[in-house]
């Protein structure tokens, strides 16, 4: 497995693979890999001849008061995990390699980015779209793999690829959870023991919402109240949002029909966690 921090070298390696007719899968990450990432890597391995994992904590997608400085980083550990999974190449650039000092070109979108996380993280999705576009240019893969835990990000990237005609297929992969239900996330490392226990309220509330929908409830307001009431029972939890939206447009819906996303963002102490379920 090779690790490269250089854009030209990475592009040359991937282009050579493509010239040999090999299928390439890309797993974009910010590192500190967990089972959720490994599930993306395994899917990429199963569906491609070569797999590239990008590890880059992208400064552009963090707001000024967010956790860029404290975001967990451990390249040696990540490299060991990637090697075990049979990854062929890690792309791990420095911020200066990705963003020249006079960088001023951005990829943005209206609508989908303004809902859910976009309300409290106004610069986040512009940063995500910009870096993901750059990664798609640097690593001309056939498939790119994203987790459904960041469901809004997945919907935005799918739309960006469609709107801007990127020649890549986006593959959404299911959320991976701890045994007790907590969705895997690099940010779970911020939680102390008490907060870790309190964080179970997210998956617990969504499980109740899922049962409600499975029993035929279609009214978004009733589903939202069910989730809200459960989250309120946890003193360490503070709700950012609870929303029921169409998965393609990310617009709120009053009634569940088609593919609907039930998404929540909840602060546990200072840590903001997101989770969701998608109803088919
Ligand atoms: O989901 C993430 O880890 C990041 O938002 C991504 C897609 C790697 C872009 O920095």
At 93 the three-state DSSP class reads coil
Which atom from ligand 1 is nearest to the alpha carbon of 56?
10
At 47-83, the pLDDT tens digits run 999 999 999 999 999 999 999 999 999 999 999 999 9
Q: What share of the chain is helix, strand, coil (3-state, %, to 5)?
A: 45, 20, 35
Token pair listed for 91: 């792309």
Please say whether the beta carbons of 178 and 197 come within 8 A. no
Residue pair 271/254 in contact by the 8 Å Cβ criterion: no
Specify the pLDDT at position 280: 80
Ligand 1 centroid to 221 CA: how many Å?
Answer: 31
Top-level CATH class of 2-173? Answer: alpha beta
Q: What is the mean pLDDT of the chain?
A: 98
Question: Catalytic one among 34, 37, 124, 137?
Answer: 37
Mean of pLDDT values over 130-149: 98
CATH number for the domain whose boundaries are 186-274:
3.30.1300.10
pLDDT tens, residue by residue, 82-111: 999 999 999 999 999 999 999 999 999 999
Give the DSSP H/E element, type plus range, for residue 195.
helix 193-198
Residues of the chain with CATH 3.40.50.620: 2-173
Residue with tokens 């997945």: 154
Among 33, 59, 153, say which to mutate for ligand 1: greatest number of ligand atoms within 8 Å of CB: 153
pLDDT in tens, 141-186: 999 999 999 999 999 999 999 999 999 999 999 999 999 999 999 9
Residue 221: pLDDT above 90? yes
- The number of the ligand 1 atom at minimal distance from the alpha carbon of 186 is 3
Q: Where in the chain is the domain with CATH 3.30.1300.10?
A: 186-274
**Which residues neighbour 258 within 8 Å (Cβ) at sequence distance 6 or greater?**
246, 247
**Is 37 tagged catalytic?**
yes
Say what the pLDDT of residue 31 is.
Answer: 98
Backbone dihedral region for residue 86 (phi beyond 0: left; psi -120 to 50: alpha; all else: beta) = left
């Amino acid at each position: 497995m090779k690790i490269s921090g250089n854009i030209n070298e990475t592009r040359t390696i991937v282009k050579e693979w493509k010239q040999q007719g090999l299928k390439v899968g890309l797993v974009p990450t910010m590192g500190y890999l967990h089972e959720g990432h490994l599930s993306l890597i395994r899917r990429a391995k199963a569906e491609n001849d070569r797999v590239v994992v990008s590890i880059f904590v992208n400064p552009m997608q963090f707001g000024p008061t967010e956790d860029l400085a404290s975001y967990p980083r451990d390249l040696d550990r990540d490299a060991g995990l990637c090697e075990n999974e049979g990854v062929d190449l890690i792309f791990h650039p420095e911020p200066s390699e990705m963003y020249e000092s006079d960088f001023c070109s951005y990829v943005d979108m209206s609508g989908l980015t303004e809902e859910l996380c976009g309300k409290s993280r106004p610069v986040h999705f512009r940063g995500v779209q910009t870096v993901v576009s750059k990664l798609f240019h640097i690593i001309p893969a056939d498939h790119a793999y994203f987790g459904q835990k960041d469901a809004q990000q997945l919907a935005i990237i799918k739309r960006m690829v469609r709107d801007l005609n990127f020649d890549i297929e986006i593959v959404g992969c299911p959320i991976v959870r701890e045994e007790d239900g907590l969705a895997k996330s690099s940010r779970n490392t911020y939680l102390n023991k008490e907060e870790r226990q309190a964080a179970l309220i997210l998956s617990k509330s969504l499980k109740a919402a899922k049962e409600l929908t499975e029993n035929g409830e279609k009214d978004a307001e009733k589903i939202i109240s069910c989730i809200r009431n459960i989250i309120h029972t946890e003193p360490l939890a503070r709700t950012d949002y609870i929303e029921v939206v169409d998965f393609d447009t990310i617009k709120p819906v009053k009634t569940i029909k088609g593919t609907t996303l039930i998404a929540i963002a909840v602060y546990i102490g200072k840590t903001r966690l997101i989770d969701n379920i998608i109803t088919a």
